[in-house]
Amino acid sequence: MTSGYAEAYRASLEDPEGFWLRAAAAIDWDAAPTRALDDSGAPLTRWFPDGRLNTSVNALDRHVAAGAGDRVALIHHSAMTGTVRRLSYAELLRDVERAAGALAELGVTAGDRVLLYLPMIPEAVVAMLACARLGAVHSVVFGGFAARELAARLDDADPVVVVTATGGLEPGRSVPYLPLLETALGMSTASPRAVVVKHRPEVDAAPAPDGWLDWDAVVADAEPHPPVSVAATDPLYILYTSGTTGSPKGVVRDHGGHAVALAWSMRAVYGIGPGDTMFTASDVGWVVGHSYIVYGPLLVGATTVLYEGKPVGTPDAAAFWRVAAEHGASALFTAPTAIRAIRRADPAGEGPGRHDLSRLRALFLAGERLDPDTYDWAHRVLGVPVVDHWWQTETGWPICANPLGLGLLPTRPGSPTHPMPGFALEVLDASGHPVPRGTEGSIALRLPLPPGTLPTLWRRDDDYVRGYLSAFPGYYATGDAGYVDDDGYVFVLGRTDDIINVAGHRLSTGSLEQAIARHPLVAECAVIGVHDALKGEVPRALVVLSAGAEASPALRDEVVALVRDEVGPVAALRDVDVVPALPKTRSGKVLRRTMRQIANGEAEVVPPTIDDVRVLDALRPILRRD
């Protein structure tokens, strides 16, 4: 297949005005934009400044008006309750109209904030789209988030209404939300006019506090609300990044640039359009859930799968393949951590062969670095292209990818391939100068960023400029390190603070992890840098073995030999510990920084998004050893 990537990328950089105005034609506008970029406030920029639209109309109404009301829009597949619910575009529109009416009756108007603290249930999607219909700004907080962190987000967003549920479901237990929310409201300065609760019969929860409203009742009594036209530059949502200290950073997403970029990426990157089904195994509390569970698929008239479950244990390691087969998914999107968990439980890769995945065209992986061995395993057991792509909460859609919709490029394991149109990627040295091909440095994006990326932080323009745009003037600093090879393939090696200095040699922990992952018994690993009196820093490897594998005295020597062969003796790897699990956030990112702080005797900062604090507690004695 011939790829149209090169032409699209060139056009996006040489004529961004024309490129993005042409892309904007895929969106229904109340007032079509005549300009693409407003850089009068540079380095802060805005896209489609004279355009007006409604995002919920683009996600729902226009498909119903075009005769596709009977097409399935949303499939809620809950492995926790054993139920599957399908909503057509017409049914989802009906629910969103009524939910918008209910919020309006509670006093929500355009520009107001609504905080959503919900599990993976259809009401989460409905509430997001209802806010968009009103021109209100939604801020989704991951369900079950700790009260103190929830309170900080309440303070910053200052919502008019909070929508929540009695709780979420985890294997073998439920997580009550109401006590957490009540505590958070008591700690917060925010004073929402109303709290609305979706009751779940599966959650054994105490009654809601007096005055809190029942979701089903307020929606049932509400009049359907028409869409409100908003400026393309108005905020659609605020999504707080999982920072470890200080005030939360509220990433802002606008209506116009968001709609244009996501619609373009759905077709060009993921190859998804009307009649296709996309199964994104993430959470609506993360940016992946916003972009590719909710908005992206619906903007192009596709079917989206909302999955409440885990990659393993609900009930087994074939859960993703079962869901993809049952619903005829054309694309499956998840994190490398999920695939490593599946591989660890099913190293032979027998699960996919037991399910009909004939409609699956590609597996998309993002959220952390994809090591070549996991890439090779997934490609072998699925027999479809494995697309590694790289992006951030701040960018909202992929910075680098292999664009299925434009025609796949040759793949290189370990690389998310090339920058996508609009992203002028360069690798810089510490002084902000571009480095030669093949040289590691800081990955930066030349301004302006394309549509769909953050225009600013919520009410913190100065913090946005200081935190992202000041390190390298004229660039957005991604905070990631890597290099571009001679053929233009980008290799992302990890966060810039994951670079360790061994006797004056700068080494990426990602390159060491890539070598270790080649060991046939290693399911996943993490490398951290620890203080050393002689060398400054030395690497320490934490290794999780595949199911059924056992640690042996020879394993350490084999891992050290792999690193020596692939990275060189300069890596000086000596410490290799076999551990039962690695500590991660709920989105799958390994807590390398926290582990490094523990190992070095520093004050540790544990992110509030940690998935299971018991894993970190079990590692402390290992990390703290002399």
| 205 inside domain | no
Q: Is the pLDDT of residue 606 over 90?
A: no
Q: Quick one: average pLDDT of 456-466?
A: 95
Q: Is the pLDDT of residue 335 over 60?
A: yes
| 198 inside domain | no
Q: Is the pLDDT of residue 231 over 70?
A: yes
| 602 inside domain | yes
Question: CA 238 to CA 82: how far, in whole Å?
Answer: 32
Question: Where residue 530 sits, what CATH number does that domain have?
Answer: 3.30.300.30
The two three-digit tokens of residue 11, written as one number? 């056009």
- Residue 2 has what pLDDT? 60
Mean pLDDT of the chain: 92
pLDDT digits (tens, 9 = 90+) for 342-398: 998 999 999 999 999 999 999 999 988 888 889 999 999 999 999 999 999 999 999
pLDDT digits (tens, 9 = 90+) for 182-230: 999 999 999 999 999 999 999 988 889 999 999 999 999 999 999 999 9
Using alpha carbons, select from 57, 55, 35 the residue that is nearest to residue 46. Answer: 35
- Which CA distances in Å does 206 have to 103, 169, 177, 178, 622? 25, 16, 10, 8, 40
| 510 inside domain | yes
| 45 inside domain | no
pLDDT digits (tens, 9 = 90+) for 571-581: 778 889 999 99
Q: Is the pLDDT of residue 244 over 50?
A: no
This prediction has a pTM of 0.87
- The stretches of 206-317 forming alpha helices (DSSP H) are 215-220, 255-268, 287-289, 296-299
Looking only at the bridges linking them, the beta strands covering 536-545 and 522-532 are: antiparallel
| 580 inside domain | yes
Return the DSSP state at 21: H
Q: Quick one: average pLDDT of 404-420?
A: 94
Residue 339: in which H helix or E strand, if any?
A: helix 336-345
| 129 inside domain | no
| 611 inside domain | yes
- Residue 497 has what pLDDT? 66
The two three-digit tokens of residue 382, written as one number? 């699925």
In this predicted structure, which of 65-79, 268-282, 514-528 has the lowest mean pLDDT? 514-528
* Paired residues of 307 in beta bridges: 77
Interior angle at CA 105, CA 100 and CA 111, nearest 5: 65
Residue 457: in which H helix or E strand, if any?
A: none
| Domains contained in the chain, number | 1
- Residue 506 has what pLDDT? 62
Q: How confident is the model at residue 586 (pLDDT cuts 50, 70, 90)?
A: confident
Tell me the residue range of the domain where 565 lies: 503-623
